[in-house]
Structure 1
Amino acid sequence: MTSVSQDSHDNLLNINFLKESQLKRLCGCLDKANSKGWRKLGETVNTDRRFKVSLDDIEMCSLKVLEVEGSPSRSLLRLMGDRGCTLGDLAEFLRMMGHTEALQCLKPGIEILIQPQSGSVIAGHSIRLSCYAAGTSTVQYQWFKAKEEVPGGSSPDLVLSPVQLQDAGFYICRVNCGLASVQFSQWAQVDVLDVMPSYGMMSLPSEGRLRVVIQPKAQSLLMGDGLYLECGAVGRPLPQYQWYRNGVPLKNANKRKFNILYSMLEHQGRYRCEISCGTEKTWSSEVDVLVGPKSSFQFSGAMECSEDDFFVIGQSNSLEKPYATDKVALLIGNMSYQNHPQLKAPMVDVYDLTNLLRQLNFKVVSLLDLTESEMRNAVEEFLSLLHKGVYGLLYYAGHGYENFGNSFMVPVDAPNPYRSGNCLCVQSILKLMQEKETGLNVFLLDMCRKRNFHDKDMPNVMLKVTANIVFGYATCQDAEAFELSSSGFTNGVFIKFLKGRLLEDEKITVLLDRVAEDMGQFDPTKGKQALEIRSSLSERRSLTDPILPGDCLDVSQAHSLLWAKAHELPESMTLNFECGVKIKMGFAAEFSNVLVIYTSIVKKPEEMSYCQAHLINLSDLDPKMMNKETPEETGSYLLSGSLPQHCLYTRLSSLQKLKEKLVFTVCLQAEFTSLEEQVQWTMEVDIGKPLIAKLDLHRPTRRNSCQLTCNMPHSPCPSPIPSPGAERLPPHQIPCLHPQSCNSHLHVYEPLYGAAGCFGNVHTHSDYPYLYENAPYSPYAPLPSVPIETTDDVEDMQNVLMDSLHFFNQP
């Protein structure tokens, strides 16, 4: 058998099958008006009887110059190809002409397969630009920022980590294949957003997901003042912007920042920005811009006024829309119960709600799996952030119950059965919020409201008669709340519909009414779960209201510092070992109590054939969650798209339990070409108390905690003793002990003591494991606090339903 080389095979290819990149370069050479141009090629081809080119053909090709972007060469080559001309034939004609430049165009050269993609990223995080090319020989890369070479940018991937503000700009990659073949990639723009820690501490979306991280701010101006509005989003490709005033798009207002040097009365109105990223679109929050005439603020020389008087004249009388002096939210999701069935949806719900509330300028503390004392202390810290005019929002997802009109949240360490002494009373928290003179109190309770027959205590919570209180119960009184179980990421039914409405600029009760209507159209839970709204709202207050500082500026700043303290990440660091190895260590947060540590070796001696660094001596952490090659292996699915690659990852959850500074050891193992045995070095690292650990939520509950608000058994401090009497109850008096009838179409199961989980021999969760990136996840596996990236498409969840979607009760 005779072998045929690749070059021989290419020579037999018809020239009509030339790659567009090759054809474009070839036509660029032949269209030049010189002695070696396309006319000379036509004359040369005319000498070959196989591909005879007549004078009429030459004249037809010449007319192409009259067309926009017309090419006589392209027309001639197409004619030759139609008559059977191959690459080998064309190469021979070009040799006869002595056209070496055109001959080079016939070589495969370089083909850029992946072009770098523009994107927007938060300062301090990372972004990756990729350019991959194929060539006949080894391909070499060099990245440029504008006209300057990027130091070390000689690989297909350019990783900027951590991104600095000065990294913003335009990037391009030069690709070489040998000395003659050079191509440049497309330009890619990197937009770096300077965002306060309130946005940067939480997880970023995966590649391509759009998320608003900078919201415009309301303003009160005088005529002639400058108007400056700004919003910003992260996402890939680069987000596009369009500003609107009073619902009308503004001409030439398509940048992140919208500026008017001298404002006039006609510039007053309600502004917001439409942001698009590929096919995905979203809106910034809507803000009011007030412009007053200067004459209304001018005073005669005989008139005296204080700064407080000026503030009243300048703002209060003209501000129609209500405003908050600050916005604070506490989100708690309990899943991994010690004595009760596990839940799935709270981690997804807390994650989704966190991202949405941040877009509304809320300061958000999000916590997973808290014990009783931790919940009480978290609530106490939440209350310390409230003052006059603040919008306070508390969201809870987990087990719960309602007795005598009072709602109780169940911690993860609650005994079985539990009573009010083991749980937190929501109304007690509301009483203390009222004392802070808050502007709006919102409670979103995603839990069951069944009666707890083990709890015979009668609460006595004396609430003040105040306005602006809103309760959004995920289900009606004496009913269960449901969570969806499918092969993908999922929400509870309440958040599934709430997240589609939360950014709407509507009165909060109107917004919740619409959510209730949406839930009412959801066939799987129709007649089983309905949103209940209780409100004393006397004003048109919404979650999109602007933030305008009140009189207590010092108090507000002190509270902001306290909040920021609970969201401080350790600074990235470089570890230098005496053997010459340099290790970079970085940190990222998924939730306020979940930290990811990632390490990479950035330098090693040439004589060292192998080295790897591991974190050890983290006694409180499951060893299976340490030093993994991908974030997903540790359970960090949310951060997988934003963390640097080629690192080792370690995930720390339940940081609220950290009593001392977090100290661990980095163990470096190395092999040298001249040594047979492996050599080891260690270095101790102290990162202090990261994130929520600084607040010491593990401390014993104080005597004046949030539970000392009423004379009832669940105050003033946690009870470590299980509720008595349950063991004496006959089985028929224990509620929900056995599953009720199962609807075969909906697969809706009644709870075991009001909880989703296992009924006798029916293991509902384990039969339908979650799938993360095609990897199965079981709620009973040791991954208790894995946040989940979710889709915003309600239609997608409906489609999953048609493919045997299952529901489970979530009390």
Structure 2
Amino acid sequence: MSKTRAGLLRHIRGHANSGNYNCCGKAFQDAYNLRKFQRTKDPNVTCVYSAAGALRTNENGTFRLTRKLQFAMPALGLNPQIDFDGSINELPGNVFIKIRELLDRNPADKDWRALIRCVESNPKYKISNVSVEQWSPAISHESPGGKLLTELGSRGMRVGELRENLEKINIDTFQLGLSPYEAIRLITSPSTSKDLYDGDTLELVIEATGRPHPRYQWFFCENGKNDFKKLQGYNQAILRIQHITQQNAGGYSCQIHNCGDPNKTVLTKLTVVSVSPNPRVANGLHPPDSGDFIYMFSQLSAVDPDHVAALVNGLQDRSADYGSALESITQIQYKLITGHPQDITVTLGQSFKLSVKTSGDPPIHYQWYRNGVKLEDGQGPTYNVICADKEDMGSYYCIVNNGVKKEQCRTAQVKETIKTLEADITIISHPQSVDLSFGGSALFSVEAQCHLPLSYQWFKDGAPITGETGSDLKIVNIQEQVKQGLYQCEVSLATPVAGIERKRKLSKSAFLRLKIPAVTDNIMYNPSDKVALLIGNSDYKSEIKLAAPKSDVHDLAEQLASMDFRVVTLLNLTKPEIENAVMEFSRLIGPNVYVLFYFCGHGFEENGISFLVPTDAPSMYSAEECVNAFSVLDNFQRKQPALICMIIDICRRAGKVKSNAHPSLFDQKVSKGNTIYCYATSPGLAAFEDKNHGLLLYHLKPLICKPVGIEKLFSEIKEEFFKVPKHSTRQLPELRSNLSEPNRSLTDRIAKKGNTQSYDLQTQIWNSYHVKPPKASGQLP
């Protein structure tokens, strides 16, 4: 061990018993315990909080920081505007843009391609790189990262899932407002001492966690001095110095921080490094030749000038034989760009690319320029143009920067191929992106000019749309998310012309975004329960048998159950059975309960009153032998529910026998403003079935789960009905409502809070319906 090394250790350990470790000034431990960096009351001592100031000891043994450097760190805490259970398409605009820019500009291990690799384990989110590469050049005002985020959002990815995947590729989610602050936790620290020889590599490794991600700054105190200096450029978790010399001997420590509060900064324990003469050189055992030193020098980063000087001094001290090596070292220049773009000539409408090759420490950042103007989509080693236009012609160059060095490549000229005969196509107006609600319509238009006739072909997500060959593309009554995507139009010459190349030109892309409101959007209404009674009569004694009721009741029951309805389904009931079913079902009804009644079978109407025909009705049945629909409603109204929906799928022609039925009392019966009727047909008309479904349910089934107000829901069902001529010419649905709250929806979520007692009672009644009767035994005569 060298004398300097031994002396330093004795000096440091001199106060071990008192717990105060010294290095050339008896307060070394204070320098490496930031909790002791407090403002001193001694007027002769200055103490400034700093992230990277030079450390010096005062006469009284305390430490002072001689240079002030303010932290520029984000505010702590989560963004309160972010719903982590919501779709990533609902992120605040500024957060979405930050994530998109990070994915576009980050190095390859944490860019948008890395995110694709991270999520591909889930088949729901698996996206090929080729698909995204095809998206990128076609989007004039978007980016691959932005397109990827939009695509993942359309596939149902939640913000919480996105945060987890961003953390997996080492993107700091705290900076995005997606994660709370986490204090620094030191997992691995360097050893307190390290013995090396001249020419060895010094490597000190730290592992720490925290949010935002920890920042590092290494400090060094040279042997025999009382001055801690910041090591410029050494701000990573690993400190690596190659080919060390005696000048690298001393104390090393790292300052770790992730916020502007100095009390949250962590300082690692002192690592004392001793450097002894290399025994191989002293014993004449094959010392390195001059070529080895030239190679060694070329591997040093330009950020280490002190180490370069130390190496040169060390070579001069060791032997004059390295004089030629030193002369060669001074002539070596660090080059970042190793390959430059070349001049090219391109035909309009064709593609071209410019490339620059680099070498050096990553991450390497690229920025392309055309005619001196920065290209927003040119941040890679290659700049691609899919369809060259006149505006793409000009002078191109790229500026490359790796944080250590910045270089500009040679300027490459891109020129247009000159042709004698041309037919220029100029697109005057491009399609515009639109945001639509469920059921909305979109119109995309493109306007182009040329002295020859033009043809058009529209594309969605890169695939041609069959039959869409006009300058306008109209999409009406959008009901499906598959309509969402990128729309673009290709304009070309309608017919080939001799001597003129058939030109094509693509418009800018327009994005159609479809917002389907979630069930939670209707936060005004939360029923305490939702119940439904579905009756289907098909096997009649004296009437034609029906095919639709059984399947219609089954399909409707499944959809209502998916919306948390308690559903009772009954088939082929007599009049007493229908009346008893209504009475028993009414026990499930209470205030703030949603009720849905559906009857499918034979029926008729007299004096504005609808009658439901039971299966045991005689051939010439009268009103007295059937069930009055208003009597069903009256049973429900007695329980004062929040909403009653009556869906009557019967014929409304006059009965076979004149009855004494009284005129409709609808206005009096439903005066509470809580009832809506949906009739399968209008008065005087029949209701029909098609194969195994009634025409009403054929149009009701696709829309009943839509999260909209119930009046709007049945109005849309009527609109869909009239779009099918063969249905609307035979059957005309009718909607009657006196709702005072028409925005109540069948999809409203049940709220048990404040209704626990009534909900539990209804649950007991519901469960009692499912209890089998006890076994009984008897003897047959």
For normalisation by structure 2, the TM-score amounts to 0.34
Q: Which has the higher contact order (CA 8 A, sep 6+)?
A: 1
TM-score (norm 1): 0.33
Q: Over alpha carbons, which structure has the higher Rg?
A: 2
